[in-house]
Amino acid sequence: MAFRTLDDMEVAGKAVLTRVDLNVPVKDGRVSDTTRIERVAPTIRELSDKGAKVVLLAHFGRPKGKVVPEMSLRQIVPAVAEVLGRDVAFADSNYGQAVADMPDSSVILFENVRFNPGEEQNDPGFAERLASVGDLYCNDAFSAAHRAHATTEGLAHHLPAFAGRAMQAELEALEKALGTPTPPVAAVVGGAKVSTKLDLLGNLVSKVQHLIIGGGMANTFLAAQGFDVAKSLCEHDLADTAREIVAKAEAAGCTILLPRDVVVAETFEADPPTRTVKVEDVPEGWMILDAGPDSVAHIRTVLDGCATLVWNGPLGAFEMTPFDRATVEAARHAAELTRAGKLVSVAGGGDTVAALNQAGVADDFTYISTAGGAFLEWMEGKKLPGVAALEG
């Protein structure tokens, strides 16, 4: 995957239209989590330090092409300025004049691009009007790269385009994980339903040597193999699909790991009475809520023999104790191998990030992607419009 980066561009004195993800949570008029701002801050600072006029483009919420005052990006300006440690101007009109008046090295944030219907329609006219106020286009919003919108894809057709540092780090990590990984490769795929991850599973069986399936998804695969999963969350109508995926994996030389033992309870709540049983012994009326210790030991052994790991989704109902145990123990083992230099570990997806934070190991993985849909579509083997626009 060849793409241009900040290292390839001369930015001094240039107006750089910089697409960032500032879709941050706001409570009582204040930003309550600055993680996304912190992710793009290095790119903004570097552009500014190199003498560029930094023009930030971002969306906030889903205004659907209309001006919605409570979704204005004006309320984000103080948080962006605080994280950057420098002044940030704001413009909601007269963009050409606003950029013309900018001194080199300054930063300005334009109003929510989704206030214009041309953004989500990827209207060439809207992209062209925006491009007319800039000299270069920088995309630092991987989380929006799966959408072919005016500011994520359209601008690249009008201006010289390159990846910002956060986008660059994401693409390099993903290339290591599934593009040209060092084998053997293991993938952990968890979550509630097989139906939401059919494309993902179908792509992974031809890319990895070991596919570890957890969460409610595993119940569907167990049921497809004839196990009685009792009251567990299960998509019985996808049994044939599950068997097809297993057959495809066997043909590709990919080993599928399903739970050998499970933690069950009669009720879906925190800290109920539980039992740990073999998958063939799930009691009638009970439900599977986590993988058991034998299953975790098996996962640990597999990871010991791998060089690369890609992880999306928890192994159990990790939101509630004690059903977070398998996810936490497997994640800690992966982190230990990563710290020892034995494993390249890349993880992504909302539930996954939350689970790894809960395990206290998010900082120990090689890379954690905060992108939800874009990370999933990339794992599914789909071409991301915002990434394709940077190639060349």
Catalytic residue annotation: 36, 193, 350, 373
Does 87 appear as a known binding residue?
no
Does 21 appear as a known binding residue?
yes
Does 250 appear as a known binding residue?
no
Alpha-carbon gap, residue 314 to 2, rounded angstroms? 32
Alpha-carbon gap, residue 141 to 114, rounded angstroms? 15
Q: Are 214 and 314 in contact (CB under 8 A)?
A: yes
Alpha-carbon gap, residue 119 to 125, rounded angstroms? 10
Does 129 appear as a known binding residue?
no
Alpha-carbon gap, residue 229 to 383, rounded angstroms? 37
Does 350 appear as a known binding residue?
yes
Spell out the residues 6+ positions from residue 366 whose beta carbon is closer than 8 angstroms to its own.
173, 176, 338, 343, 344, 345, 346
Does 23 appear as a known binding residue?
yes
Does 384 appear as a known binding residue?
no
Does 182 appear as a known binding residue?
no
Does 351 appear as a known binding residue?
yes
Does 36 appear as a known binding residue?
yes
As beta bridge partners, residue 195 has: none
Does 301 appear as a known binding residue?
no
Does 115 appear as a known binding residue?
no
List the 161-163 sheet strands across, edge first. 89-91, 107-110, 53-57, 15-19, 136-139, 161-163
**Could you say which DSSP state residue 210 is in?**
E
Tell me whether residue 272 is exposed, middle or buried, using C-beta atoms within 10 angstroms of its C-beta: 0 to 12, 13 to 18, 19 or more: middle
Does 59 appear as a known binding residue?
yes
Does 319 appear as a known binding residue?
yes
Alpha-carbon gap, residue 122 to 126, rounded angstroms? 8
Alpha-carbon gap, residue 135 to 17, rounded angstroms? 8
Q: Which residue numbers belong to the known binding site for ATP?
A: 197, 319, 349-352
Q: Which residue numbers belong to the known binding site?
A: 21-23, 36, 59-62, 114, 147, 197, 319, 349-352
Q: Which residue numbers belong to the known binding site for substrate?
A: 21-23, 36, 59-62, 114, 147
